[in-house]
Structure 1
Amino acid sequence: MTFYSFLGSLEIGLIFSLVALGVLISFRILNFPDLTVDGSFPLGGAVAATMIAAGANPFLATAVAVLAGALAGLLTGWFNVRLKIMDLLAGILLMTALYSINLRIMGKPNVPLITEPTVFTLLLPELLPDYVERPLVLLVVVIAAKLLLDWFFSSQIGLALRATGANPRMARAQGVPTGLATMAGLALSNALVALGGALFAQSQGGADISMGIGTIVIGLAAVIIGESILPARRLVWVTLAVILGAILYRFFIALALNSDLIGLKSQDLNLVAALLVTFALVLPMLRRKWRSGRGAGG
Structure 2
Amino acid sequence: MFASLFGAVESGIIYAIMALGVYLSFRILDFPDLTVDGSFVTGAGTAAILIVHGQNPFLATIAGGLAGFIAGCITGILHTKGKINPLLSGILMMIALYSVNLRIMDQKPNVPLLGQETSFSMMTSFWQKLGLDAPFNSFLEMVGLGDSLPKTWGIFFFMIIVVILIKLITDWFLKTEVGLAIRAVGDNKRMIRSLSANTDRLTVLGLGISNALVAFSGALIAQYGAFADVGMGIGMIIIGLASVIIGEALFGTKSIARATLAVILGAIIYRVILAIALRIEFLDTGDMKLITAVIVIFSLVLPKVIEANKEKRRRAKKRQAWQKAVKGEGDDIAST
TM-score by length of 2: 0.85
AA paired with 1:161?
Answer: I
User: 2:12–2:271: 8 Å Cα contact kept in structure 1?
Assistant: yes
Aligned match of 2:192: 171
Task: Give the Å deviation of 1:229.
Answer: 0.5
User: 2:35–2:93: 8 Å Cα contact kept in structure 1?
Assistant: yes
Percent of aligned positions that are identical = 48
Quote the Cα distance in structure 2 between the aligned partners of 1:254 and 1:11.
Answer: 12
Aligned match of 2:320: none
Quote the Cα distance in structure 2 between the aligned partners of 1:74 and 1:130.
Answer: 41
Aligned match of 2:122: 122
Task: Give the Å deviation of 1:228.
Answer: 0.6
AA paired with 1:57?
Answer: N
User: 1:7–1:131: 8 Å Cα contact kept in structure 2?
Assistant: no
Matched residue SS, 1:220: helix
Quote the Cα distance in structure 2 between the aligned partners of 1:39 and 1:135.
Answer: 26
Quote the Cα distance in structure 2 between the aligned partners of 1:206 and 1:131.
Answer: 20
1:179-202 superposed Cα distances (whole Å, 9 cap, x missing partner): 000000000000000000000000
Task: Give the Å deviation of 1:135.
Answer: 2.1
Q: Does residue 200 of structure 2 align to residue 201 of structure 1? A: no
Quote the Cα distance in structure 1 between the aligned partners of 2:246 and 2:204.
Answer: 27
Q: How does 1:246-285 map to 2 (within 5 A)?
A: 246-260=267-281, 263-285=282-304
Give structure 1 stretches of 5+ with no counterpart.
none
Aligned match of 1:52: 51
AA paired with 1:122?
Answer: M
Quote the Cα distance in structure 1 between the aligned partners of 2:291 and 2:155.
Answer: 26
Aligned match of 2:310: 291
Query: Residues 257 and 155 (structure 1 numbering): CA distance in 2 closer, same or farther, change over 3 Å?
Result: same
Query: Residues 131 and 208 (structure 1 numbering): CA distance in 2 closer, same or farther, change over 3 Å?
Result: farther
Task: Give the Å deviation of 1:4.
Answer: 1.4
Q: Does residue 100 of structure 2 align to residue 81 of structure 1? A: no
Q: Does residue 167 of structure 2 align to residue 146 of structure 1? A: yes
AA paired with 1:240?
Answer: L
AA paired with 1:251?
Answer: V
User: 2:124–2:153: 8 Å Cα contact kept in structure 1?
Assistant: no
Matched residue SS, 1:213: coil
Aligned match of 1:237: 258
Task: Give the Å deviation of 1:174.
Answer: 1.4
Query: Residues 102 and 130 (structure 1 numbering): CA distance in 2 closer, same or farther, change over 3 Å?
Result: farther
TM-score by length of 1: 0.96
Query: Residues 296 and 173 (structure 1 numbering): CA distance in 2 closer, same or farther, change over 3 Å?
Result: closer
Quote the Cα distance in structure 1 between the aligned partners of 2:238 and 2:157.
Answer: 26
Query: Residues 55 and 256 (structure 1 numbering): CA distance in 2 closer, same or farther, change over 3 Å?
Result: same
Quote the Cα distance in structure 1 between the aligned partners of 2:42 and 2:6.
Answer: 26
Please say which of residues 124-133 and 281-290 is displaced more in the overlay.
124-133
Quote the Cα distance in structure 2 between the aligned partners of 1:138 and 1:295.
Answer: 44
User: 2:34–2:90: 8 Å Cα contact kept in structure 1?
Assistant: yes
Query: Residues 123 and 286 (structure 1 numbering): CA distance in 2 closer, same or farther, change over 3 Å?
Result: same
Aligned match of 2:2: 3
Task: Give the Å deviation of 1:139.
Answer: 1.1
AA paired with 1:266?
Answer: T
Quote the Cα distance in structure 2 between the aligned partners of 1:82 and 1:295.
Answer: 48
Task: Give the Å deviation of 1:222.
Answer: 0.5
Quote the Cα distance in structure 1 between the aligned partners of 2:16 and 2:210.
Answer: 12
Matched residue SS, 1:124: helix
Query: Residues 122 and 19 (structure 1 numbering): CA distance in 2 closer, same or farther, change over 3 Å?
Result: same
Task: Give the Å deviation of 1:120.
Answer: 1.3
Larger radius of gyration: 2
Aligned match of 2:92: 93
Aligned match of 2:113: 113
| Number of corresponding residues | 295
Matched residue SS, 2:276: helix
Matched residue SS, 2:252: coil
Matched residue SS, 1:115: coil
Aligned match of 1:28: 27
Matched residue SS, 1:85: coil
User: 1:32–1:87: 8 Å Cα contact kept in structure 2?
Assistant: yes
Matched residue SS, 1:264: coil
